[in-house]
A = this chain, B = another copy of it.
Amino acid sequence: MAPHAAPAAHPRSPLPGAPRLTVAQCELLREIQILDEYGERRCIHIPAERPLTVFVDKRELVTLMTLGQCPELLVLGYLSNQRLIESIRDVESITVDWDVGAAAVRTHHGVKDLAGKTAKRVVTTGCGQGTVFGDAMTQLHTVTLPDAATARIRQTTLHRMLETMRQQESIHRKAGSVHGCALFELQPQGSEMLYFVEDVGRHNAIDTIAGWMGLHGVHGADKAFYTTGRLTSEMVMKGAQMGVPIIVSRNGVTAMGHELASRLGMALFGRAANRHFLCYTGAERFDSEPEPQRAAVRVVAG
């Protein structure tokens, strides 16, 4: 993997009227010397996070700490997930300049009531971007996910998703300390990975996916997310805002994440790696194809 590798993406064309985006690149890894328990000095790689200050129509909005794998889509997804824009067509262009650590967003007609929309602050649980502007929380009742008959996942498909993630080349494998997030399209006979991105926080990763979906007009109804991060309330909320009914995590869940997903009718899978998983909620979207191992163990044990 090149040190400035772009996220793995299925080739698509941007929507007509989509914003113009730069393709700013930066080093994703840094080499440092460490001292280990054997008294040896050796070199390892760590992820190279950096600040990116977002200006909307020349007004400073926020500073995001990011790995920088795809900053334009991160900013686009951030604006979208924070409901600061209604459509990606509201944005004329996003220009990222790493020399100054700035993302200049230009909109066609300005953002209505930017001050009001960003006034309420909720500091959230998650790894990564922790601020969810208050308005987003209150708009959740507008979310409708596809019903369980049409948007569901088989155990075999889930296994294959996990196998795809296991084999995926990643910054995490080289440097640790990043979260990955992938978007899968569910198909009758399995699934296809459409996009995979890593960032220092899992919120950045999911926002970048939102940016990618928005740019290409990709809808969430027949999709599943994979994330390495915990399933907290704001992760579930973002998934729901993006219309994705199924979320899979290598990690666990919190009570609010669980409650929110249950209320929204979303399926949550956690502790998912290799052939193991826990379906926390939304089992009505899941076609269980039970593993035989435990039965075999029982026979031996019994």
A124 within 8 A of B: yes
Contact A127 B129 (CB under 8 A): no
- Partner-B contacts on A (CB < 8 A): 30, 32, 34-40, 44, 46-51, 61-65, 118, 121-131, 155, 175-177, 200-201, 203, 230, 232-233, 251-258, 271, 275-281, 283, 286, 288, 290-291, 293-295
Who on chain B is nearest to A61 by CB? B121
Interface CB pairs A-B, < 8 A, 22: A36-B276, A37-B277, A38-B290, A38-B293, A44-B278, A46-B252, A46-B258, A49-B255, A49-B256, A62-B122, A63-B121, A64-B123, A65-B123, A65-B124, A65-B125, A126-B130, A127-B128, A129-B130, A130-B130, A131-B131, A176-B252, A177-B230
Q: Cβ of A200: which chain B residues have Cβ within 8 Å of it?
A: 125, 232, 254
Contacts A46-B253, A49-B256, A127-B127: A291 and B122 contacting too (C-beta < 8 A)?
A: no
- Please tell me how many copies of the chain the complex holds: 2
Q: Cβ of A155: which chain B residues have Cβ within 8 Å of it?
A: 37
Pick from B128, B254, B290: contact of A177, CB below 8 A: B254
Pick from B65, B121, B128: contact of A62, CB below 8 A: B121
Q: Cβ of A286: which chain B residues have Cβ within 8 Å of it?
A: 35
Contact A280 B38 (CB under 8 A): no
A259 to B279, CA, bound (A): 40
A4 to B81, CA, bound (A): 34
Contact A275 B63 (CB under 8 A): no
Contact A201 B126 (CB under 8 A): yes
A143 to B126, CA, bound (A): 28
Q: Cβ of A290: which chain B residues have Cβ within 8 Å of it?
A: 37-40
Give the top 4 A-B pairs by smallest Cβ distance, nearest first.
A130-B130, A39-B290, A177-B252, A176-B252
